[in-house]
Structure 1
Amino acid sequence: MIKIVKAEYLEHKIIRLWFSDQTVGDYDLQPLLDKQTELVTPLQDEVYFKQFFLELGALCWKNGLELSPGNIHNKLRQQGKLQTDLKAA
């Protein structure tokens, strides 16, 4: 099971994610925020957005939003945005 082991805010709703399989990718959350659902609306605020944390390998916010590491990993792989983290290998 893929888990997120480290997350770092980059810019403009993009978070760099390191996964348990020694891959890394930059995840742009703007398409998710554009859906303007109840759980993602608070993330429009940059200060709130930056308050993400990892819980059991998932990307989370204190309002209960939890993003599956497996789904994020698959999206990044399909978009060609997943790379092997040479520093971790």
Structure 2
Amino acid sequence: MSADRVVVTVTGEVDMSTADAMYQAATKDNTSAATLDLREVTFFDSAAIHALLQLADRFGEGLVVHPSAQVRRVLEISGLSTQPWLKER
């Protein structure tokens, strides 16, 4: 993590019981940018999408998301697969 960017690595399921924890981890310490490593996420629901969109609103161009195949599929179905913050690694 640099002084202005937080890197959050998420594994397992992101759902209504864990999405807020992902959001909180990415927004701690008043950082101005965030990288979400979601390559080990196995389930991603609408609460997770909502948290992700909140992070996109907060960080704008400062957000980078590295998705797993499952996350990419959910974002494709949701019409979010062309967002500039979505990156392959």
Considering the TM-score relative to the shorter chain, is it more than 0.5? no
Structure number having the greater helix percentage = 2
Specify the TM-score bucket, using the shorter chain as the normaliser. under 0.3
* Larger Cα-atom Rg: 1
Structure number having the greater strand percentage = 1
